[in-house]
Amino acid sequence: MLVEELHLDPEVARTLREQGIEELYPTQSATVPSVLQGRNMVVAVPTASGKSLIGYMALLRAASMGQKGMYIVPLRALASEKYEELKAYEQLGFRVAISTGDFDSRGDSLAGYDIIVATSEKADSLLRHSAAWISKLSVIVVDEIHLINEPDRGPTLEMVIARLRKLIPNIQVIGLSATIKNSAEIAEWLDAEHYTSEWRPVELKQGVYANSEIFFSNNERRAVRKIEEDVWSLIHDSLSNGGQALVFVNTRKNCESAAMKYRSQMRKLLQEDEDAEAVSDEELQDDLEEPGEMSSRLKDCVKSGLAFHHAGLTNSQRRMVEKLFKERKIKCLFATPTLAAGINLPARTVIVRDLYRYDSQLGSTLIPVMEVKQMCGRAGRPRYDPYGEAIIVAKNREMASFVLEEYLLGDVESIRSQIGNERSLRNHVLSAVATRLANSMGELRDFLALTFYAYQFDLEALEDAAVDALDYLRTNGMVTGEGEEFRATLFGKRVSDLYIDPKSAITLRKLISEFRKGKELGLLHGICSTPDMIPIYARNSDSEMLLEVIDNRSGEMILSFDDAEDDMLYLSELKTAMMLKDWIGEEREESILKRYGIYPGDLRNKAETAAWLLYSAEELAELSGSENAAEIGRIARRVEKGVSERLMDVASLRGIGRARAIALFSRGFRSRGRIAESTEEELMRVPGIGAQLARSILSQARRGRRTQEAKESGDSIPKDWFFDENS
């Protein structure tokens, strides 16, 4: 179908043509006409077959009618990608926004936007804050809707969909999914039309490799020249034919060691390729200049034309690797399976090296078929590659036969609702009560009836579990009322707004009550013991040191080791708290990473979660009138910045993070006042501060000084405070 056959607004059609879209893919031709008529739609098709445009057309239709639309994604990185793509439509006069952070915000500023890109958690947060503009939504596009199946994020996504359908009965729902076994069931749940297909714009050949030969699922076979060992033979085969390779391995450690292993071979291959571009130091900028052994390894790999990608990288490191891979300057990328469900990074060849991974409860287990299919779907770049090859490595012919039958020819697993667990129900039942979506058993029953769980399993069983959740919330002072009627207390409402687990809030309430100056470690340990924090694993070799901390610093602890239900879990929580103590004690980041055996991304993640929990504790302390609120707040901001109290004045400037604050302080810039007295040239001598940042922080410091002087003299605040573009 040609774009002109859709009878779109001429400006919309022109914008599509500018993007090179003259003719729709078969998946789009079969679904877009119904989408433009306002019908619900569930589309389950392979990666790269044009799903996103189907959702975009629904959003553009709503925007052209003066209505709002929301595009919901599972990950922040994916939100950024979709936001950049949708920005292309702002030339039509529509306004596009992205919203992924700050869960304690009403999001009132989003009222002026036509299209909003958000993670499922942020969408849930906006619903909890009852943002007025939510009622104006006429369409939601749910990308990766099959992630309802995930135990952690699935319940939130499912509840967001159910709640929006409850609040806005006529809302159009577009569900986009990879090929799954029961996509028709999801369509029935949403009263939607269903479309599924195996078509993709680039032919995907899937095979299993064993004994120097690839056995494809279409019965073709191809020999691969053996070069040293199996994985490098496949990489060499792809790169020698002008492609890129994406190799999936099962752990972060294996991801890095594999990349390091092939550096020398990769350099040699690049030297033989006259068209290959080496990555320069300038291109790496500051993103790969962070301290630590891992950063050095990554930089060495990238300059050799390959890289590794996993959740232990910092955001800036991941963005740099993704950018260079898309520009084809990184020829081979080793990644953990999390990348398969993330951003769009296709390659000519996908190699799945590992089919097993370790589970703490089950030991070594096979990766689900759906996950492997997601990985394989990354093979073949539309408009660049004539075909894509997805190859699973097998150790022998027997294993190859198993892989062919189970993974390449077998069905993917069915999607199952995950909201029936205790944690998700206490969380989302409180949210429903706090926002007055459900203030009686009848209203709660009506809401739960809209969930996929109720459609798929049993509403009565879900209702019984919800009653247990209500009893828990009543017992702990978050819900009040007897019998059929109930409402949230002020405490319960604030817990829901803060987007923390009710069980976490109970721990925070104890910490607020018993915290005293000098119990900083106890406070940090307490927040690390909440369900919202995943602690760093304490190994047996850590036990002696941690038990010594407990003996020597028992007076600082608020939650006693003697009362712990699980000794090793307590030690893991204490280890995480010790790491945070070092973080705000200005220990060198490299030392922290080495001491606690973690990655830079883990450190940032734990610090971000801890800062949020401490902020929540501060808010709950203020609600209760506790005198501890101010001190808890100070610690929260120190954790956010990763500095001691002495650096907070400098670190609170926009653009100044931990490393720059320490660098400024060590060079004599120990306050905003001292910075205000300096020059741009002086500031630019500090490592990590360029001309633009020097200008910005100098402006902030001088403006702050004038504001303080104006307050002291009784004059009005200087006007340039209101007009600074960086405010």
Reported as a single tens digit per residue, the pLDDT across 36-45 is 999 999 999 9
- Structure-block tokens of residue 431: 């949210």
Residue 211: count other Cβ atoms within 10 Å of its Cβ: 14
Question: What confidence score (pLDDT) does residue 721 get?
Answer: 32
Query: What is the DSSP-derived secondary structure letter of residue 539?
Result: P
**CA atoms of 340 and 146, how far apart (whole Å):** 14
**CA atoms of 52 and 177, how far apart (whole Å):** 10
Q: For residue 54, is pLDDT > 80?
A: yes
- List C-alpha distances in Å: 687 to 295, 682, 683, 693, 696: 18, 11, 9, 12, 16
**Phi, psi of 206, rounded to the nearest 5 degrees:** -110, 135
Q: Where are the alpha helices (DSSP H) in 213-365?
A: 230-240, 252-261, 263-272, 281-284, 293-303, 315-326
Whether residues 509 and 486 share a domain: the answer is no
**CA atoms of 114 and 699, how far apart (whole Å):** 34
Report the chain's mean pLDDT, rounded to a whole number. Answer: 90
Residue 273, domain member (yes or no): yes
Residue 721, domain member (yes or no): no
**CA atoms of 23 and 74, how far apart (whole Å):** 29
**Phi, psi of 251, rounded to the nearest 5 degrees:** -135, 160
Whether residues 308 and 330 share a domain: the answer is yes
In which band, very low, low, confident or very high, does the pLDDT at 720 lie, cut at 50, 70 and 90? Answer: very low
In which band, very low, low, confident or very high, does the pLDDT at 542 lie, cut at 50, 70 and 90? Answer: very high
Which element (helix H / strand E) includes 385?
A: none
Residue 468, domain member (yes or no): yes
Reported as a single tens digit per residue, the pLDDT across 555-579 is 999 999 999 999 999 999 999 999 9
Query: CB under 8 Å, gap of 24 or more: what pairs does 457-460 form?
Result: 457/417, 457/420
Inter-residue contact 99 to 117 (CB < 8 Å): yes
In which band, very low, low, confident or very high, does the pLDDT at 607 lie, cut at 50, 70 and 90? Answer: very high
Whether residues 473 and 517 share a domain: the answer is no
As a three-state string, the secondary structure of 429-485 is HHHHHHCCCCCEHHHHHHHHCCCHHHHHCCHHHHHHHHHHHHHHHHHCCCEECCCCE
Reported as a single tens digit per residue, the pLDDT across 324-381 is 998 889 999 999 987 766 667 889 999 999 999 887 777 889 999 988 998 998 899 8
Among candidate residues 345, 340, 416, the one with its CA nearest the CA of residue 380: 345
**CA atoms of 206 and 660, how far apart (whole Å):** 48
Residue partners of 505: CB distance under 8 A and separation at least 6: 478, 491, 495, 498, 616, 620
Where residue 607 sits, what CATH number does that domain have? 1.10.3380.30
- The 10 Å CB-count burial string (b at 16+, else e) for 695-721 is ebbbbbbbbbeeeeeeeeeeeeeeeee
Whether residues 310 and 426 share a domain: the answer is no
**Domain final residue, candidates 196, 212, 243:** 196
Reported as a single tens digit per residue, the pLDDT across 175-196 is 999 888 899 999 999 999 999 9
What residues make up the domain containing 520?
502-642
Partner residues linked to 391 by β-bridges: 207, 351
Please give the tally of structural domains in the chain.
Answer: 4
DSSP percent split of the chain into helix, strand, coil, nearest 5: 55, 15, 35
Residue 257, domain member (yes or no): yes
Whether residues 234 and 131 share a domain: the answer is no
3-state secondary structure of 611: helix
Per the model's pLDDT, the better-predicted residue between 315 and 535 turns out to be 535
Question: What confidence score (pLDDT) does residue 708 get?
Answer: 54
Whether residues 81 and 129 share a domain: the answer is yes
Question: What confidence score (pLDDT) does residue 364 get?
Answer: 86
Whether residues 366 and 475 share a domain: the answer is no
Share of the chain above pLDDT 70, in %: 93
- List C-alpha distances in Å: 381 to 217, 246, 259, 338: 20, 12, 23, 19
Where residue 376 sits, what CATH number does that domain have? 3.40.50.300
Residue 414, domain member (yes or no): no
Residue type, position 146, single letter? H
Residue 417, domain member (yes or no): no
In which band, very low, low, confident or very high, does the pLDDT at 428 lie, cut at 50, 70 and 90? Answer: very high
**Domain final residue, candidates 196, 215, 247:** 196
In the predicted model, what is the mean pLDDT of residues 509-524? 94
Q: pTM value? A: 0.90
Partner residues linked to 41 by β-bridges: 174, 193
Whether residues 230 and 329 share a domain: the answer is yes
In which band, very low, low, confident or very high, does the pLDDT at 483 lie, cut at 50, 70 and 90? Answer: confident
Whether residues 467 and 585 share a domain: the answer is no
Question: What confidence score (pLDDT) does residue 77 get?
Answer: 84
- List C-alpha distances in Å: 62 to 38, 59, 109, 274, 307: 9, 5, 19, 50, 41
Where residue 494 sits, what CATH number does that domain have? 1.10.10.10
Q: For residue 13, is pLDDT > 60?
A: yes
In which band, very low, low, confident or very high, does the pLDDT at 723 lie, cut at 50, 70 and 90? Answer: very low
**Domain final residue, candidates 408, 437, 470:** 408
Residue partners of 430: CB distance under 8 A and separation at least 6: 469, 473, 478, 479, 488, 492, 495, 496, 502
Whether residues 586 and 545 share a domain: the answer is yes
Q: Where are the alpha helices (DSSP H) in 87-119?
A: none
Question: What confidence score (pLDDT) does residue 284 get?
Answer: 67
Q: For residue 121, is pLDDT > 90?
A: yes
**CA atoms of 447 and 444, how far apart (whole Å):** 5
Whether residues 598 and 623 share a domain: the answer is yes
Whether residues 507 and 492 share a domain: the answer is no
Partner residues linked to 118 by β-bridges: 72, 99
Residue 700, domain member (yes or no): no
Residue 605, domain member (yes or no): yes
Reported as a single tens digit per residue, the pLDDT across 610-647 is 999 999 999 999 999 999 999 999 999 999 999 999 99
